[in-house]
């Protein structure tokens, strides 16, 4: 499973977050490297209500690197015992600047969805799309309005989504003649349709999947040869953290997306940053 494969996180987005959050922790209290990592794990513990084992565990080398970077910037210094670190005046100033940026952050869900839609074929007749984790059909209705045939599914595993498919069905407006259907279903159990879909899309869904790798493999099987998977989810990095807090780390980083999708058999993996979101596309090979 992906949450086990990436139990200790690293990469550019993690480094960007750490260079900020180490200052946050040290501004509260002087700490050792080990204590900083423990604080991050503790404060991300709410993530486990969505997926077991999803607290943020940062790789030791990333903490070491961040400490070295902040020492060079004179943002932190060693205490007399050489094992404890504390923030400097320069570090406090840097933290104030970052927090000023944080106050101006706003979510970019709509922009991310528009980017996702822009990656689909602009001539949709007879193109069949599966929207996984559809919720109340926000993305599914946009695609249906654009002319796609759409199946929206949601497992309704979480309390906030237990009635989502019912609500999505209630929103279907027969006068608009949208070709859209909604079902309560788990993507891993959607066996009756075969490899029927030209596209499989998700919006803010993969980060909540308990078996991310199993779901991405199932999506691969549901795509037609040459079909494409496109996902919009939280960005791993400072913008993602500012907008979504520790929940952003439920998502995959750009490096993790690429590694996982390639291992599942996808090709042509591309990732796009849309403020606090990451939009990823990948293709099922046309042959083989």
pLDDT higher than 60, residue 217: yes
Q: Is the pLDDT of residue 131 over 90?
A: yes
* Segment 44-54, tens digit of pLDDT: 999 999 888 89
Q: What is the mean pLDDT of residues 155-184?
A: 80
State yes or no: pLDDT of 182 exceeds 60.
yes
The pLDDT value recorded for residue 160 is: 55
Model confidence over 62-82: pLDDT tens digits? 999 999 999 999 999 999 888
> Tell me, what's the pLDDT at 174?
63
Q: What is the mean pLDDT of residues 195-216?
A: 93
Mean pLDDT of 252-273: 96
Domain ranges of the chain: 2-103, 109-283
Range name among 23-27, 154-158, 212-216 with the lowest pLDDT average: 154-158
The predicted pLDDT at position 233 comes to 97
Asked whether the whole model's pTM tops 0.95, one would answer no
Q: Is the pLDDT of residue 175 over 70?
A: no
Q: 2-103 in CATH: which number?
A: 1.10.10.10
For residue range 21-45, what is the model confidence (pLDDT) as tens digits?
999 999 999 999 999 999 999 999 9
pLDDT at 1 > cutoff 50: no
Instruction: Name the CATH superfamily for 109-283.
Output: Vaccinia Virus protein VP39 (3.40.50.150)
81-130, pLDDT tens digit by residue?
Answer: 889 999 999 999 999 999 999 998 888 999 999 999 999 988 777 899 99
Q: Report pLDDT for 176.
A: 73
DSSP codes joined into one string, the chain: -HHHHTSSB-SHHHHHHHHHHHHHHHHHS-EEHHHHHHHHHHHTGGGGGTSTT-S--B-HHHHHHHHHHHHHTTSEEE-TTSSEEEE-HHHHHHHHHHHHHHHT----HHHHHHHHHHTS-S--TT-EEEEET-TTTHHHHHHHHTT-EEEEEE---SGGGTTHHHHHHHH--GGGT--EEEEE--GGG--SS-S-EEEEEEES-GGG-TTHHHHHHHHHHHEEEEEEEEEEEE-SSHHHHHHHGGGGGGSPPHHHHHHHHHHHT-EEEEEEEETTEEEEEEE--S--
């Amino acid at each position: 499973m992906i949450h086990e494969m990436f139990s200790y996180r690293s990469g550019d987005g993690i480094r960007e977050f750490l260079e900020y959050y180490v200052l946050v922790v040290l501004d509260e209290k002087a700490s050792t490297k080990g204590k900083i990592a423990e604080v991050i794990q503790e404060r991300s513990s709410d993530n486990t209500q969505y997926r077991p084992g999803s607290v943020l565990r940062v790789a030791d080398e990333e903490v070491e690197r961040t400490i070295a970077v902040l020492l060079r910037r004179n943002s932190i210094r060693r205490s007399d015992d050489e094992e404890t670190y504390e923030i400097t005046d320069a570090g406090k100033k840097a933290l104030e600047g970052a927090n000023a940026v944080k106050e101006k952050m706003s979510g970019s869900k709509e922009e991310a969805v528009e980017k996702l839609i822009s990656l689909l074929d602009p001539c949709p007749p007879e193109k069949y799309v599966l929207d996984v984790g559809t919720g109340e059909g926000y993305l599914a209705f946009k695609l249906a309005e654009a002319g796609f045939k759409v199946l929206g599914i949601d497992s309704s595993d979480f309390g906030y989504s237990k009635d989502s498919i019912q609500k999505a069905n209630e929103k279907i407006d027969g006068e608009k003649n949208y070709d859209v259907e909604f079902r309560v279903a788990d993507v891993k159990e959607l066996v009756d349709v075969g490899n029927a879909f030209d596209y499989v899309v998700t919006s803010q869904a993969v980060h909540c999947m308990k078996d991310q790798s199993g779901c991405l493999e199932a999506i691969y099987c549901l795509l037609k040869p040459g079909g494409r998977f496109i996902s919009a989810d939280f960005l791993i990095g400072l913008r993602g953290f500012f907008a979504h807090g520790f929940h952003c780390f439920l998502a995959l980083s750009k490096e993790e997306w690429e590694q996982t999708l390639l291992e599942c058999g996808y090709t042509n993996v591309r990732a796009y940053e849309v403020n606090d979101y990451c939009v990823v596309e990948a293709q099922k090979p046309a042959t083989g």
